[in-house]
Structures are given as C-alpha cells and as structure tokens.
Amino acid sequence: MPDLNLTLELAFLYDLQQIDAEILTRHKKLKLIPDDIRKLKEDFRVHEQKLNALKDQLSQAEKEQRSQSAEIEALGEQRKKYQTQLTAVKTNDEMKALYKQLEFIDQQEEEIEDKVLELMLIIDDLGGETKKEHEILAAKNVDHKAEEAELQKIAQGIKADISEIQEKRQNLIQKVNPDLLKQYQGRTTTQHTHLDLVTPVVDNNCGNCKLTIPPQMLNEITQARKKIACPSCKLILFELPTFEQPNDTTSE
C-alpha cells in the first residue's frame, strides 16, 4: 500500500510553492508600476524643458529686438542733431563732414533694420513653435493623468489579488507538515522567496529538471514510504494525487 500521508504532505507543500510563485509574479508586476509612472513623468518633464527653452529663446529675441529698435531711435536723434547743425554751417568742409556723418547714420540704420527684420522672423517662428509645444504639453498632461490613474488602478488590482492569495496561503499553510514547512522556509533566496523543495513526477520525468526517473525509483516514489530526492536537482519527488489515474505503476 502506498503511503498516502507522505504523498499528501508533499502535495500540500507543492501547492504552497505554487501559491508563493503566484504571489511572487504579482509582486514583480507591482514593482514595475512605479517605474512606469516615473517614465510618464520623465517624458512630461522633457517636453516641459523644451517649452521652457523655447520661451527663453523667444524672450531673448524680443529683448534683442527692443534693443535694436532703441538704437534706431538713437540714430534718429543723432540725425536730427546733424540736420540742425546743417542749417548753421559756415564752410563747405563743415557741410561735407556733416553729410558724411548723415550718410554713415543712414548706413547704420539700414544694417540695423535688416537685423530687426531678421529678428521679427525669428520671433514669429519661435512664437509658433512655443504655441505648438504648449499644446503638446497640455495634451500630454491630460493623457498622463489618465495613464497614471490607470496604472494606479492596476496596482490596486494586483494588491487585492495578492491579499486574496495570501488568505488562501494562510489556510493552506496549516495543512502543511511543520517539518517540511520549516525545511522549505529555510530555502530563502536574496529576494525573500523560497526555492522549491518538492516537485511532482510528470510523465516519468522530474517535474523540475525533466530527468527521466528510473523505474525502480518511480516505484519507490509511488510507494511513498520515505522521501526520495531527484538524483539531479535534489528536489523531493512525489506523485500528484490524481485519483482517476490508471494504476499502471503501482503493481507491487
């Protein structure tokens, strides 16, 4: 007669392993969510910086334009001064000199006017770009809030799942043999999870490492009078207690 007790004990621990794996999977998913939220915020920040840079360029160009216009005004004043002086010149040389100065003012004015025109075009372009980036940012703001809310909702769902599974785990853990449980809990990894302790036989193979189990060993596993470890991965092997299974290996 096979020892159903040991088989059941191992099967309970196997269930516990499965539940722990489920919890771990959900914890891993949960851990990714803050990162996704951070990426959303980062993307937003990049566009925000782009907009700020455009605004800076725009105000710089506008400042430059103002200063150039002030220079044109100053040249106008200068021109008036020379024109007044022209009415009072005494010699030909004086007149020539004044005309030369006026000519120079015209030249300077023309150069500055070209610059102002150029600046106006730049300001126009920057204004358009700034407006566009403003719209992108506003749309992103709406999108991001929705996406972040969605991610928070997913996180809530996962947390609810985990506590539901935890409850199942609490019930199951009472059925697990204390010695086996202790042994399993001793197999802690750096991520505070437990390495598997048991594995079922699947189609005459070790369910963990797939090693083909020799017939004599299979027989012993079925008898379940003692714990049998897989020769390769060292997990304790057991036969899944499926009661409808045909009795083709239990012929002792």
Nearest to 237, CA basis, from 207, 193, 194: 207
What mask, x for binding Zn ion by CB under 5 A, covers residues 209 to 238?
A: x-x------------------x-xx-----
Please give the Cα distance from 142 to 147 (Å, whole number): 9
Nearest-5° Cα angle at 149, 145 to 150: 115
Q: How far is the CB of 221 from Zn ion (least distance, A)?
A: 12
Q: Which stretch binds Zn ion (CB under 5 A): 33-41, 75-83, 133-141, 204-212?
A: 204-212
Q: How far is the CB of 240 from Zn ion (least distance, A)?
A: 15
Tokens standing for residue 219 = 């027989």
Select 61 or 230, whichever has its Cβ closest to Zn ion: 230
Count of residues making up the chain: 252
- Neighbouring residues of 85: CB distance < 8 A, sequence distance ≥ 6: 98
What mask, x for binding Zn ion by CB under 5 A, covers residues 162 to 201?
A: ----------------------------------------
Please give the Cα distance from 250 to 252 (Å, whole number): 6
Which one-letter amino acid corresponds to residue 162?
A: I
Select 65 or 199, whichever has its Cβ closest to Zn ion: 199
Select 206 or 221, whichever has its Cβ closest to Zn ion: 206
**Interface residues toward Zn ion, by CB under 5 A:** 206, 208-209, 211, 230, 232-233
